[in-house]
């Protein structure tokens, strides 16, 4: 069988694999030894010198060349250049073998060059992300797009090298297959266009808190690339969203809240409307002892007295003229309390208002912003505020509405039995 293969190779002018296989093999071994020696010398001398020089400089960006082994990958090009340029020298009498060696060397050269370009892209990303001004605007999507085009072009040039065809001819053939290519790379094209829109309109950044109910995402963006956006949810799970989905669907970005310096507190307390009443002199005297509203009650009472005197109001009847109410004084107290709270952002909206009365009572809504945006601290601040408000409401003769519970019915039953 081996004899048949030999005769076939010789008949087809393959002397490198036929008659003089020993000579060709010896030449290849010598070339390989020289190539290994060149690579060893480069990695033992030039590469360490360049890496030490990078470490000694005051610039930080050149350290990324060492981190991604750029110089070691670059050194791999030297033996390939040696193989390509010396193939005709070592295989002078074997043109076919020399041509095969050149093509293989060029193919490996393109592959290693692609690896070096990939290192440069990684280095570019690290340098870009290390600057504070641009850290919130990642370029990962653009670099991935460049990688995609590099892989495509290198693949075409490798095929052209191995087949000894013009790469432009392959490009022209691919032009006729545009529809097929668009179908194959549909997701990549959609993702690339979507990533350009996201970044050009500043719709999303790494570190943004986004909420997208359709995909169950509610957390921080940890990675943005051409095909997907990764979101780490608050329960530490990871949700992967197609990049183009962020353009074609709506989502909520909480960046505005982070940049504003405050986080909204919006919550209502329902007051039993049967406990709302006009303030008596005794009630006003009691409320005047409350530190936050002592001046308010004094000024308000003076204003009301002047109004009633000017309009000659008969104050012997409760409904005549103007009077203070316990619910109005409670609102004034809550506002004063929030204005004096160290954890409330005083330069943002601070509102205590009535909402539409319901069958559950009169809602009093507190609408303010905390100056601490950290979730745990925010919840503590919110809880402390409403702890205080709920505890202080009875001091104003008011009651908080609460639907009857089993305990309330038991007390009612016990009261009926005792009678």
Average pLDDT score, the chain: 82
Mean pLDDT computed over 89-113? 80
Domain with CATH 2.30.30.60 in the chain: 137-260
Q: Does residue 207 surpass a pLDDT of 80? A: yes
pLDDT, tens digit (0-9, with 9 covering 90-100), for 365-384: 999 999 998 889 999 999 99
Percentage of the chain with pLDDT > 70? 85
- List alpha helices for 46-165, DSSP H: 47-56, 63-67, 70-75, 77-90, 95-130, 140-163
Q: Does residue 246 surpass a pLDDT of 70? A: yes
Q: Does residue 17 surpass a pLDDT of 50? A: no
Q: Does residue 183 surpass a pLDDT of 80? A: no
Q: Does residue 314 surpass a pLDDT of 90? A: no
**At a CB cut-off of 8 Å and minimum separation 6, what does 132 contact?**
none
Q: What is the DSSP string of 36-67?
A: HHHHHHIIIIIHHHHHHHHHHSS-STTHHHHH
Contact 224, 244 (CB under 8 A): no
Q: Report pLDDT for 3.
A: 41
Place of tokens 């808190």: 209
Mean pLDDT computed over 207-232? 89
Q: Report pLDDT for 282.
A: 92
CA geometry: angle 248, 252, 253, nearest 5 deg: 110
From residue 251, give the alpha-carbon distance in Å to each of 31, 203, 209, 215, 246.
Answer: 61, 10, 11, 10, 7
Mean pLDDT computed over 58-71? 79
Mean pLDDT computed over 93-112? 82
Contact 350, 368 (CB under 8 A): yes
Contact 321, 315 (CB under 8 A): yes
Burial 208-230 (b: 16+ CB within 10 A, else e): bbbebeebebbbebeebbbbbbb
Q: Of 135-149, 165-179, 186-200, 303-317, which has the strongest mean pLDDT?
A: 303-317
Q: Does residue 249 surpass a pLDDT of 80? A: yes
Q: Report pLDDT for 261.
A: 83
Q: Does residue 327 surpass a pLDDT of 80? A: yes
pLDDT-based confidence at residue 333 (cuts at 50, 70, 90): very high
Contact 74, 116 (CB under 8 A): yes
Question: Considering the entire predicted model, what is its pTM?
Answer: 0.57
CATH of 137-260, one of 3.30.70.270, 2.30.30.60, 1.10.10.10, 2.60.200.20: 2.30.30.60
Q: Does residue 176 surpass a pLDDT of 60? A: no
Contact 222, 231 (CB under 8 A): yes
Q: Report pLDDT for 9.
A: 45
Percentage of the chain with pLDDT > 90? 31
Q: Report pLDDT for 286.
A: 93
Contact 308, 315 (CB under 8 A): yes
Q: Determine whether 330 is exposed, middle or buried from the number of CB atoms within 10 Å of its CB (0-12, 13-18, 19+).
A: buried
CA-CA distance, 46 to 49, in Å (whole number)? 5
Contact 231, 224 (CB under 8 A): no
């Amino acid at each position: 069988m081996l004899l048949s293969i030999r005769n076939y190779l010789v008949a087809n002018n393959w002397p490198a694999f036929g008659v003089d296989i020993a000579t060709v093999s010896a030449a290849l071994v010598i070339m390989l030894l020289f190539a290994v020696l060149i690579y060893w010398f480069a990695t033992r001398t030039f590469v360490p010198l360049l890496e030490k020089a990078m470490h000694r400089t005051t610039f930080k960006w050149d350290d990324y060349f060492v981190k991604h082994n750029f110089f070691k990958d670059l050194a791999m090009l030297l033996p390939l250049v040696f193989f390509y340029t010396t193939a005709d020298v070592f295989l002078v009498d074997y043109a076919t073998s020399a041509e095969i060696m050149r093509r293989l060397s060029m193919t490996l050269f393109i592959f290693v060059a692609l690896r070096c370009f990939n290192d440069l892209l990684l280095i570019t990303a690290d340098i870009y992300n290390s600057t504070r001004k641009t850290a919130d605007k990642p370029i990962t999507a653009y670099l991935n797009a460049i990688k995609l085009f590099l892989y495509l072009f290198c693949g075409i040039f490798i095929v052209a090298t191995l087949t000894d065809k013009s790469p432009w001819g392959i490009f022209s053939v691919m032009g006729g297959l545009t529809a097929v290519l668009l179908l194959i790379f549909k997701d990549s094209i959609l993702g690339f266009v979507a990533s350009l829109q996201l970044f050009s309109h500043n719709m999303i950044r790494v570190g943004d808190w986004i909420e997208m109910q359709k995909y169950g995402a509610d957390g921080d963006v940890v990675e943005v690339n051409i095909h997907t956006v990764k979101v780490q949810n608050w329960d530490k799970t990871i949700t992967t969203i197609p990049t183009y989905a962020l353009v074609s669907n709506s989502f909520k970005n909480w960046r505005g809240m982070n940049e504003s310096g405050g986080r909204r507190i919006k919550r209502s307390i329902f007051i039993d409307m049967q406990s709302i009443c006009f303030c008596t002199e005794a009630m006003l005297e009691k409320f005047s002892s409350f530190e936050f509203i002592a001046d308010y009650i004094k000024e308000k009472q003076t204003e009301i007295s002047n109004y009633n005197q000017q309009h000659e109001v008969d104050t012997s009847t409760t409904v005549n003229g103007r009077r203070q109410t316990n619910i109005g004084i409670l609102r004034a107290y809550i506002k004063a309390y929030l204005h004096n709270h160290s954890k409330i952002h005083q330069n943002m909206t601070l509102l205590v208002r009535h909402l539409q009365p319901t069958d559950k009572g009169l809602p009093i809504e507190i609408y303010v912003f905390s100056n601490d945006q950290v979730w745990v601290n925010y919840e503590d601040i919110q809880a402390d505020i409403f702890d205080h408000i709920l505890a202080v409401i009875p001091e104003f003769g008011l009651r908080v509405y609460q639907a009857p519970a089993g305990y309330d019915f038991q007390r009612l039953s016990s009261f009926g039995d005792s009678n």
